[in-house]
């Protein structure tokens, strides 16, 4: 059952207001109330209701125009007592459908991976008694006790805490654990800053706490991700192109079938023969091997990409990878090293000072609490053994003070060393040490000291302040120590840009790919990182600004903006979808739970081998290294694959359309069928088979230097120009056979069959490239297969099965004339290609 509607602003509530709103109290729920709520709200799980059966998923794969035409072609082959072609076509359709089924099944598996992360127990307080309960039985109003290592089982409001730090990296993408404290927060507080709320799936790294559950199952933040993953994956650019191409073929096919059938009926030819002939024309127009060609190309591409440390999970994503013109990426670990390092330590005047770092290191090494990444960075930059420095006390870090103080013996003196957030730390200092080592009142220099801090912040560096104070041996260790301290200076930290990332981004730009950075960090850090790696930051869009922007306005802003800062997890998907609406092919690279919905929505979702399972399952491509440089070779390979797929489409549609247009025309003035239905099927099969090797064909550089998408109008124009050119020479062959050689029905059908297959096979070498054909070397397999096909066609009239297919022998003179026609055709095709691309450009 559905749980109650969750108010959107629980972070603004006090503990008392939360207890009142949820209907609970400090003793927790009673067992009877918990059972009643479980019946009302349902289990704390992600049951998706009715699950789509596997057979339904499989049958869905047949609901597209190309597959329908191919199945019709298969039925026609069986009807003509020609089961061989029918079996071939059915095998192709079946394999293609299995691929689609596997893709949808993979999406379902990502949900199961998501669910497996939340099967756990929780320390729950009911009737003032604490016990371990299955997390699925938790309900709104339950109190849970949190300890180190616990995974948060549901969304909860923090009632009490003791130095509680949570790792929310999977949600926010940030490496720093966050402290959680009770107390209400302002309405405008962003999701990542809501320190009083705990989210399902994050985990405790230090401290302890008591929390009140307010949302379970699909109503949690985790559940929102689940819902988006449960949605059908949006149609990608490649899938959209295939669908539009199929619709184009369907329209042309139906039109030609009706025209041809009408002409033959008007000429009073046998209706059954005319109908079968029209259906054969329809089959002839259809590139039966398109699914097989695509699969072979994709499999070859996946094999090549795996050698470049790019693992392809969903084959169709390779085409999108090549078409991608926008890549959205997080910051940490992708553009930067993902490791916090000390940038510098300075005195209050901004001059480098190692003593500041030394005292920071003493504090970091002597403290007993959780050592965060900044402490580790300090220890690495200035190694000090804690065993050599006696410690006599500590004031632990808390959220309100935002600092930690240790008491140590330094040069025989009892010294308090305080380390913390710069602004709160300056508030407890009344003196500072200048560049000459003099201790002076801080009041006169406070403004310039704050300027030093603000300069670091604006340049994207995180900073902490360091202060010291000598205390007496008998002074108690209490918060009074943190007053009248001497400010030593700042330690600034950076997450350095990856080595060579600027060149990688420029190389992506050279390939026509625009990189956009999406981060949860503040705009100053985002701007500094963007500048350091070469990303334009003339326009920065923050998460708070994004909340007030409508979908149409976001489409425009997202296209204009390259840096998105302070972005909440649920806003990433909005950015991706807005870019797709702006007609971009969008890639997204991410590795956290919070990235799963964006990965799911992108045309190509990219994750890394070290990512959480949900992210890897939602992704289409997995990198073995979290390095954008790895993408470069993968993108190029994707474009090679896409180029070879489009080559086949150009070849098949233009040749088939030309042949079928010629057949349609010839049927209007011949007293017999220009080609028998089975001869049409054989023509189509023989012209397609050599093109099965297109996956290994060489690709010109112009296919690789920029992204390309399906352009149905371009394909249509290409099909018409080269189809009509093919028909022109078909009609020349008709004239030769009828008036030059006086061919009978069998000779006419044989002669035209040979000319059709030979010209369609050889013209492949011309239209596979923009260049003059002999300046672009074809792949060895393509060239070899083409030669074998031409040789086989010439031999067909002399083979034992020739009569079965209705073929007869031709006079040798025909082959001499045919050579002339083919040479003229190739020359004309080269000239037409030159004019066509000149006009298109």
Q: What is the pLDDT of residue 277?
A: 65
**What percentage of residues in the chain have a pLDDT greater than 90?**
25
324 and 398: one domain? Answer: no
For the chain, how long is the longest CA-to-CA vector? 124
Whether the CB-CB separation of 165 and 205 falls below 8 Å is answered with yes
330 in active site: yes
Which of the two residues, 120 and 411, has the higher pLDDT score? 411
Answer yes or no: is 64 within a domain: no
What DSSP state is assigned to residue 151?
B
Q: For the chain, give the mean pLDDT.
A: 81
560 and 709: one domain? Answer: no
Q: What is the pLDDT of residue 117?
A: 42
What DSSP state is assigned to residue 736?
I
Q: Is 253 exposed, middle or buried (CB count within 10 Å of its CB: 0-12, 13-18, 19+)?
A: buried
Tell me what the mean pLDDT of segment 557-582 comes to: 88
Tell me what the mean pLDDT of segment 254-261 comes to: 73
Chain centroid to Cα 288, Å, comes to: 30
330 and 348: one domain? Answer: no
Q: What is the pLDDT of residue 158?
A: 95
Whether the CB-CB separation of 764 and 782 falls below 8 Å is answered with yes
811 and 706: one domain? Answer: yes
Chain centroid to Cα 453, Å, comes to: 38
Q: What is the pLDDT of residue 5?
A: 46
Catalytic residue among 150, 167, 330, 697: 330
Q: What is the pLDDT of residue 85?
A: 53
**Dihedral angle over CA of 319, 323, 326, 330, nearest 10:** 20
583 and 572: one domain? Answer: yes
How far are the Cα atoms of 3, 20, 180 from residue 269, in angstroms, in the given order?
A: 70, 86, 85
409 and 513: one domain? Answer: no
How far are the Cα atoms of 7, 231, 646, 663 from residue 297, in angstroms, in the given order?
A: 51, 29, 11, 31
192 and 155: one domain? Answer: yes
Which of the two residues, 526 and 618, has the higher pLDDT score? 526
What is the pLDDT confidence band of residue 3, given thresholds at 50, 70 and 90?
very low
Q: What is the pLDDT of residue 354?
A: 93
Confidence check: pLDDT of 116 > 50: no
Q: Is 53 exposed, middle or buried (CB count within 10 Å of its CB: 0-12, 13-18, 19+)?
A: exposed
CA separation for the pair 310, 313 (Å, rounded): 10
Whether the CB-CB separation of 810 and 746 falls below 8 Å is answered with no
Tell me whether strands 586-589 and 604-608 are parallel, antiparallel or unpaired: parallel
Q: What is the pLDDT of residue 414?
A: 92
Phi, psi (rounded to 5 degrees) for 802: -60, -45
N-term to C-term CA, the chain = 59
Q: Is 803 exposed, middle or buried (CB count within 10 Å of its CB: 0-12, 13-18, 19+)?
A: exposed
Of 228-232, 303-307, 814-818, give the range with the top mean pLDDT: 814-818
Tell me what the mean pLDDT of segment 108-121 comes to: 48
Half-sphere exposure (Cβ direction) of 607: Cα atoms closer than 13 Å: 24
Which residue in 304, 710, 596 sits closest to 606, CA to CA? 596
Answer yes or no: is 359 within a domain: yes
Answer yes or no: is 410 within a domain: yes
Answer yes or no: is 463 within a domain: yes
Q: Of 292-301, 403-412, 507-516, where does mean pLDDT reach its minimum?
A: 292-301
Q: What is the pLDDT of residue 473?
A: 85
222 and 266: one domain? Answer: no
Which of the two residues, 440 and 384, has the higher pLDDT score? 440
532 and 569: one domain? Answer: yes
265 and 406: one domain? Answer: no
361: domain CATH number is 3.40.1110.10
What is the pLDDT confidence band of residue 499, given thresholds at 50, 70 and 90?
confident
Q: How many domains does the chain have?
A: 4
List, for residues 731-766, the tens digit of each pLDDT value.
899 988 888 888 898 999 899 899 988 988 888 888
Q: What is the pLDDT of residue 302?
A: 77
Answer yes or no: is 298 within a domain: yes
Q: Which residues contact 542 (CB under 8 A, 6 or more apart)?
A: 523, 564, 565, 566, 567
Q: Which residues contact 451 (CB under 8 A, 6 or more apart)?
A: none
The reported pTM is 0.67
Answer yes or no: is 62 within a domain: no
Which of the two residues, 245 and 751, has the higher pLDDT score? 751
List, for residues 625-649, the tens digit of each pLDDT value.
777 778 888 888 888 888 888 887 8
CA separation for the pair 536, 561 (Å, rounded): 8
Which of the two residues, 127 and 679, has the higher pLDDT score? 127
675: domain CATH number is 1.20.1110.10
Tell me what the mean pLDDT of segment 589-594 comes to: 76
Q: Is 819 exposed, middle or buried (CB count within 10 Å of its CB: 0-12, 13-18, 19+)?
A: exposed
Answer yes or no: is 726 within a domain: yes
Tell me what the mean pLDDT of segment 250-255 comes to: 73
Per the rule left: phi > 0, alpha: psi between -120 and 50, beta: everything else, 149 is left
Answer yes or no: is 268 within a domain: yes
547-605-155 Cα angle (round to 5): 50
**Alpha-carbon Rg of the chain, whole angstroms?**
36
486 and 536: one domain? Answer: no
Q: What is the pLDDT of residue 491?
A: 96
Domain boundary at 601, 631, 661, which?
631
Chain centroid to Cα 774, Å, comes to: 39
- Residue 532, domain extent: 317-337+498-631
Q: Which residues contact 746 (CB under 8 A, 6 or more apart)?
A: 806, 807, 808
Q: What is the pLDDT of residue 30?
A: 93
178: domain CATH number is 2.70.150.10
List, for residues 209-233, the tens digit of each pLDDT value.
999 999 998 888 777 766 666 555 5
624 and 648: one domain? Answer: no
Confidence check: pLDDT of 488 > 60: yes
Q: What is the pLDDT of residue 441?
A: 93
Confidence check: pLDDT of 824 > 60: yes
Which residue in 469, 463, 464, 465 sits closest to 482, CA to CA? 469
Half-sphere exposure (Cβ direction) of 315: Cα atoms closer than 13 Å: 20
CA separation for the pair 747, 736 (Å, rounded): 12
What is the pLDDT confidence band of residue 257, given thresholds at 50, 70 and 90?
confident
Domain boundary at 443, 470, 494, which?
494
What DSSP state is assigned to residue 595?
G
Confidence check: pLDDT of 51 > 50: no
CA separation for the pair 117, 587 (Å, rounded): 26
CA separation for the pair 657, 717 (Å, rounded): 12
581: domain CATH number is 3.40.50.1000
CA separation for the pair 587, 590 (Å, rounded): 10
Domain boundary at 494, 520, 538, which?
494
């Amino acid at each position: 059952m559905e749980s109650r509607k969750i108010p959107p602003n629980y972070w603004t509530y006090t503990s008392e207001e939360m207890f009142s709103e949820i209907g609970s109290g400090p003793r927790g729920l009673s067992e009877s109330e918990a059972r009643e709520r479980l019946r009302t709200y349902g289990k704390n799980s992600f049951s998706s209701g009715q699950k789509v059966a596997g057979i339904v998923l499989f049958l869905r794969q047949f609901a597209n125009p190309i597959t329908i035409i191919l199945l019709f072609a298969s039925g026609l082959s069986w009807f003509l007592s020609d089961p061989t072609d029918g079996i071939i076509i059915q095998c192709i359709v079946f394999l293609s459908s299995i691929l689609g089924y596997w893709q949808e099944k993979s999406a379902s598996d990502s949900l199961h991976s998501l669910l497996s992360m939340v099967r756990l127990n929780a320390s729950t307080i009911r009737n003032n008694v604490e016990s371990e309960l299955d997390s699925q039985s938790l309900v709104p109003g339950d109190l849970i006790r949190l300890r180190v290592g616990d995974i948060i089982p549901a969304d909860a409001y923090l009632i009490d805490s003791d130095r509680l730090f949570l790792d929310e990296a999977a949600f926010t993408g940030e490496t720093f654990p966050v402290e959680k404290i009770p107390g209400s927060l302002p309405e405008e507080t962003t999701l990542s800053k809501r320190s009083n709320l705990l989210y399902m799936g994050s985990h405790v790294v230090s401290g302890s706490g008591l929390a009140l559950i307010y949302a379970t199952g699909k109503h949690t933040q985790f559940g929102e991700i689940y819902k988006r993953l449960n949605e059908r994956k949006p149609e990608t650019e490649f899938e959209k192109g295939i669908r539009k191409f199929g619709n184009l073929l369907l329209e042309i096919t139906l039109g030609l079938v009706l025209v041809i059938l009408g002409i033959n009926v008007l000429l009073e030819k046998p209706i059954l023969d005319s109908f079968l002939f029209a259906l054969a024309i329809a089959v002839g127009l259809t590139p039966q091997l398109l699914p097989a060609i695509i699969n072979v190309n994709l499999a070859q591409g996946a094999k090549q990409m795996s050698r470049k440390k790019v693992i392809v999970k969903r084959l169709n994503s390779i085409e999108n990878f090549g078409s991608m013109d926008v890549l959205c990426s997080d910051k940490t670990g992708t553009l930067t090293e993902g490791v916090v390092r000390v940038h510098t330590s300075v005195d209050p005047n901004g001059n480098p000072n190692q003593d500041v770092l030394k005292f920071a290191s003493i504090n970091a090494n002597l403290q007993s609490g959780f050592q965060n990444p900044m402490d580790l960075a300090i220890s690495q930059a200035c190694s000090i053994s804690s065993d050599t420095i006696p410690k006599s006390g500590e004031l632990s870090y808390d959220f309100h003070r935002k600092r930690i103080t240790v008491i140590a013996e330094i040069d025989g003196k009892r010294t308090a060393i305080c380390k913390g957030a710069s602004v709160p730390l300056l508030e407890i200092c009344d003196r500072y040490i200048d560049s000459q080592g003099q201790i002076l009142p801080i009041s006169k220099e406070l403004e310039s000291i704050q300027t030093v801090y603000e300069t670091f912040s604006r340049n994207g560096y995180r900073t902490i302040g360091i202060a010291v104070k000598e205390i007496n041996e008998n002074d108690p260790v209490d918060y009074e120590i943190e007053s009248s301290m001497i400010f030593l200076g700042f330690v600034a930290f950076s997450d350095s840009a990856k080595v060579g990332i600027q060149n990688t981004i420029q190389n992506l730009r050279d390939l026509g790919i625009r990189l956009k950075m999406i981060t949860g960090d503040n705009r100053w850090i985002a701007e500094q990182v963007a500048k350091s790696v070469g990303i334009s930051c003339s326009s920065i869009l923050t998460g708070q600004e994004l909340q007030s922007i409508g979908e149409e306005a976001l489409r425009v802003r997202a296209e204009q903006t390259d840096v998105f800062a302070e972005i909440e997890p649920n806003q990433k998907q909005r950015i991706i979808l807005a870019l797709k609406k702006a007609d971009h092919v969008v890639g997204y690279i991410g590795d956290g739970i919070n990235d799963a919905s964006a990965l799911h929505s992108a045309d190509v979702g990219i994750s890394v081998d070290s990512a959480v399972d949900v992210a890897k399952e939602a992704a289409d491509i997995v990198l073995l290294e979290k390095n954008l440089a790895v993408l470069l070779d993968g993108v190029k390979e994707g474009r090679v694959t896409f180029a070879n797929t489009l080559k086949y489409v150009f070849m098949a549609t233009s040749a088939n359309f030309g042949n079928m247009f010629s057949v349609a025309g010839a049927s209007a003035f011949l007293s017999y069928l220009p080609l028998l239905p089975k001869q049409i099927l054989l023509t189509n099969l023989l012209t397609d088979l050599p093109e099965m090797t297109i996956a290994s064909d060489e690709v010109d550089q112009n296919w690789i230097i920029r992204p390309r998408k399906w352009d149905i109008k371009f394909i249509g124009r290409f099909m018409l120009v080269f189809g009509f050119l093919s028909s022109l020479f078909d009609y020349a062959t008709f004239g030769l056979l009828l008036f030059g050689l006086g061919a009978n029905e069998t000779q006419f059908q044989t002669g035209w069959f040979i000319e059709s297959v030979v010209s369609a096979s050889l013209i492949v070498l011309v239209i596979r490239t923009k260049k003059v054909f002999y300046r672009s070397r074809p792949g060895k397999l393509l060239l070899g297969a083409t030669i074998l096909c031409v040789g086989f066609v010439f031999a067909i009239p002399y083979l034992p099965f020739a009569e079965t297919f209705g073929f007869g022998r031709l006079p040798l003179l025909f082959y001499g004339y045919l050579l002339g026609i083919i040479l003229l055709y190739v020359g004309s095709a080269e000239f037409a290609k030159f004019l066509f691309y000149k006009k298109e450009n």
